[in-house]
Amino acid sequence: MKKSLAQTYMEQSVAAATLRTYNIRIDAIKKFLRTMKKASLNLELFAIFLQKLETRNGQASKSTAEGYRAALCHHQKIYGLWCDPTPWADTWQCRKMVMGYAYKGKTVQQTRPVRGQVDSPMFHAMMTVARQQYPKFAIALELAYRVALRPHQLLSLHQGAYDNTSITIPDKRCRANNRFPPVTRKTIIDPHAHQLLRDLENKPGLYFDFSASELRRVFQSIGRELQWNTTALKFDGPHCLRHGGMSHGRELLTGAEEQAIEHTLQVSKNTLNRYTTPNSRRKQ
């Protein structure tokens, strides 16, 4: 269905990464409806969907439930999706339902593993497996670590993004209600990353022709083979490479002032300290 101009403008008021997340969540609900053999979603079916999420994830997470409700609000108000007959995801009843669903998550003691960082020895072990078994993804995994990129930033890279000193990437801070531009420049400090980027610049269009979900599945497969996951740490996706990449970048910038390191790596002091915390000191 063709979008109206008004719908296009409303979409532009939301960050691109948030829109992608909304669409992924709506697709998950559509899959659930097909399984249930239902044509439309209502409040009761949404409650059943959340119940199934709890069974699958082993917990009732308020942030997850609110994320799905936000996606529903967006699609109902802009596209009129699953209005029964009017938008209901932003009603008092739906908000209360999500609060009640999440209440168990607050009262039941749960211990969940925290996200780990791919440190230097793990990175080299990963690259050995990637080059042998997943050559199509090996350069992307290496670049994500060496430049400390988020997955969506990595997969946005295209011919012309690299200028021999830095790359153009989406700026996560950009919102419709602030003055941050949609993209920013990130300085490349790893010599090997420079060579990878020079080679990739010979390819027209996007550097990589696979999706974030495909990259995540490959990363998780390598993690299982190398037995990374423990009861205390999880390595759930390539964002773990960004954590390890920050430690790598900080090491490359040894001797620089802390403020200069934060500016070059484009993170706040608190984020840098959190990302570079060794796996042995990461707590639940």
Range name among 73-77, 133-137, 172-176, 265-269 with the lowest pLDDT average: 172-176
- In b/e form, how buried is each residue of 123-152, taking b as 16+ CB within 10 angstroms? beebbebbeeebeebbbbbbbbbbbbbbbb
Are 178 and 72 members of one domain? no
What b/e string do you get for 71-88 counting C-beta neighbours within 10 Å, with b at 16 or more? bbbbbbebbebbbeeebb
Q: Is there a single domain that holds both residue 126 and residue 99?
A: no
Give the CATH number of the domain where residue 101 resides: 1.10.150
Same domain, 23 and 80: yes
Q: Would the pLDDT of 283 be above 70? A: no
Q: Indicate if 93 and 75 belong to the same structural domain.
A: yes
User: How many structural domains are present in the chain?
Assistant: 2
47 shares a domain with 135: no
Structural domain boundaries, residue 24: 5-107
Domain boundary residue among 107, 131, 149? 107
Containing H/E element for 186?
Answer: strand 183-187
Cis peptide bond prior to 135, omega within 30° of 0? no
Run of H or E residues at 237: none
Same domain, 60 and 179: no
- Whether residues 269 and 187 fall in one domain: yes
Same domain, 122 and 151: yes
Locate 107 and state its tokens.
Answer: 């009262």
Chain-wide mean pLDDT for the chain? 91
pLDDT tens digits for range 261-282: 999 999 999 999 999 999 999 8
Residues recorded for the chain = 284
Residue 107 pLDDT? 53
Q: What is the pLDDT of residues 91-130, one digit of tens each?
A: 999 999 999 887 765 555 555 688 999 999 999 999 999 9
